[in-house]
Amino acid sequence: MTAPAPKHDVFQAIADPTRRKLLQLLVDREMPVTVISGYFPMSRTAVSKHLRVLADAGLVKERKVGRETRYRLDPDPLLELKRWLAYYERFWENKLMALKHYVESDERDGDVPAGALGAVELQTKE
């Protein structure tokens, strides 16, 4: 049991605004589908499908209670996103540094900004 057939990853899951709202709604409380769908301007079935996508990505857990199914957030998969993002974080700093250098020098002949950024650091990961 390594990979339980993902079919939907975190990146896809959070791409849709409705699904991001869903995550936020379920962040601290568990809710059944009918209640959840009350917060959205679409059919219950549509909401249910969004919940399925989120569940596929592991961002939401379902629990059956009597005739209702309650959903709640599971933030774990967001770690992958965090890791992905972390890789790019240093480039904010680099960009600032490059800008600084550019402002301090006067070699702005029209193609400097890119050059300033070009060779700051090199890294090929994967």
Partner DNA sequence: AGAATACGAAACCTTTCGGTTTCATATGTT
Partner DNA sequence: AACATATGAAACCGAAAGGTTTCGTATTCT
Q: Looking at residues 41 to 60 of the shown chain, list those that interact with a copy of itself (rule: CB under 8 A).
A: none
Joined together, the tokens standing for residue 80 give 């992958």
Nearer to DNA among residue 50 and residue 116 (C-beta): 50
User: CA 85, 87, 91, 94: dihedral to nearest 10 degrees?
Assistant: 150
112 contacts which partner out of a copy of itself, DNA, none, CB within 5 to 8 A by kind? none
d(CA 35, CA 124): 47
Q: Smallest Cα–Cα separation from 108: which of 118, 120, 116, 97?
A: 116
User: CA 120, 86, 4, 28: dihedral to nearest 10 degrees?
Assistant: -160
Site string for a copy of itself, 67-106 (x = CB under 8 A): ---x-xxxxx-xx-xx-xx-xxx-xx--x-----------
d(CA 70, CA 84): 30
Residue 109 in contact with a copy of itself, rule: CB under 8 A: no
Is residue 36 within 8 Å of 47, Cβ to Cβ? Answer: yes
Stretch that binds DNA, among 50-58, 81-89, 95-103, 110-118 (CB under 7 A): 50-58
Contact residues for a copy of itself, defined by CB under 8 A = 11-12, 14-17, 20, 23-24, 27-30, 63, 65, 70, 72-76, 78-79, 81-82, 84-85, 87-89, 91-92, 95, 111, 114, 117-123, 125-126
Binding site for DNA (CB under 7 A): 8, 12, 15-16, 18, 32-35, 42-46, 48-53, 62, 65-70
